[in-house]
Amino acid sequence: MASFNPKDVRIPNSHFIGGKAINSRETIDVWRPSDGQVYASLSIADSNLVDQAVENAWQAFKQSDWASRSPRDRAKAMKRWAALIEADVNTLAPLEAVGSTRPIAAAAQWDIPFCAEGIRFFAEYADKCGGEVIPTANGSLGMTITEPYGVIGAIAPWNFPLVMASWKVAPAMAAGNAVVLKPSEMTPFSVVRLAELAIEAGIPPGIFNVVQGDGRVGDAICRHPRISKVTFTGSTKTGALIMAACAQTGTKPVTLELGGKSPQLVFDDIKNIDKVARRIAGAITTNAGQVCVAGSRLLVQKGIADQLVTRISELFSELVSGPTWQDSTTLSPIISTRELERIDGVVQRTVQQGGEILVGGCRLPEQDQSAFYQPTILTKVNMGMEGVRDEIFGPVLCVETFETDDDALQLACHPSYGLSAGVHTADLNRAMRMVNELEAGTVWVNRYGRSWDFAIPTGGFKGSGIGKDLGRYAYEANQKVKSVLIDFTNDEA
């Protein structure tokens, strides 16, 4: 998609409750990371507005036919929604790009189609999953029945606003639930357009509500008595707070997709160093490393380490920073100057701890008010250093070398995280051993990152989360299971 003027983008800076845009008295400024400028004000919900949104969703769940209509009819409405999203790319893509880290080309070519296809995928699950008949004694019938929870509270992150919202909203709605979504206050607007299109598709008002605000709004959603389940993507620290809030107010189930510090293991039997280097460079520079599954730890066998790292550094230098509204931009901004300073702080403290900067390691100098960070390679590091141990969420690659397979597995093991891992080898036996022994919820072999495989779930081990997004597991997590046992003998009841 072509470049655009950010001043031409219509900003829907409201909540969306009961099928209508609603504004509140309190507002905050929203900043563009591409140039550091305030480009809109955002209405912030108070506790009364959160209550209004949740109650509206509850009434829509109980009084509309969304939960009770046939699964196929529910699927048809969601497929219409997906088609409207695809057709709205000229509106949605600039709205997604203007205030986020997503360059316009990526938003138009990936984010919008991926969001629509995810909604279409879960729509198709509406009549594919259900209860089952359980073997029991003669004269009895045992079975399970699945039912929607009611109102799902969804809290989405800022790094892929539309895509992450669709991962939360689509399975919940396909399963018959209503949803109250809180997007990040840093990227709040594109999901309002998403909700407008849901109404246009014929989804009942109140089934998909959006409330705007910061962590206080998220906490109010988690603690609301009408919220039956919460799904969240974000940091491990915030995930723990959400889990505690849900436990304190009804023991609500949660799906938590949290942080990562994902290793990429490269063995010296790879056939094409350039191809692997491109894969690894992309895994840490896509969205400027602001990806939960970013391949931020490179573990490479010693014999090819220098050659591989040199090629990665060359690929880093080819990236073009620029505003997200320019179609030539290939290096995204950091979401805010505050986040940029946090990233740089981690890098500098890692150097103080003994690490060395091979390339990068600072803010891009030509960008004054914006937040761009040079793609960075840190060497001579170990797990005792902050840059290796903690999630940086920026374009920073930490490099360690190994000699044996056992060495690689030992380096790959992280004390806290287990979200994803990459294995690059021509040896199938070695690849399968790595798959079996790596502590990660997703392992990619001779590739890195998601494609359009919606059926494959994503989610982490250890501090990287609980439950799964995508796949059948995500759909089933939005339904509760009722057990039924019926006697049908001739005896009187």
The Cα–Cα gap between 68 and 148 comes to 10
**CA 131-134-138 angle, 5° bins:** 140
292 is catalytic: yes
Which residue out of 55, 96, 257, 391 is catalytically annotated? 257
306: its two tokens: 């220098």
Report whether 33 contacts 101 (CB < 8 A): yes
Nearest in space to 105 (alpha carbons), one of 285, 331, 295, 395: 331
Residues contacting 32, CB < 8 A, separation 6+: 6, 38, 39, 98, 99
**CB of 170 closer than 8 Å to CB of 118:** yes
Residue from 55, 292, 339, 391 carrying the catalytic annotation: 292
Whole-number Å distance between alpha carbons of 83 and 324:
25
The reply to whether 439 belongs to the active site is no
Cα gap 81→83, rounded to integer Å: 5
End-to-end CA distance of the chain: 68
**By the 8 A CB rule, do 452 and 114 touch?**
yes
Using CA atoms, how far residue 185 sits from 29, 91, 206, 338, in Å, is 9, 20, 21, 15
What are the residue numbers of the active site? 257, 292
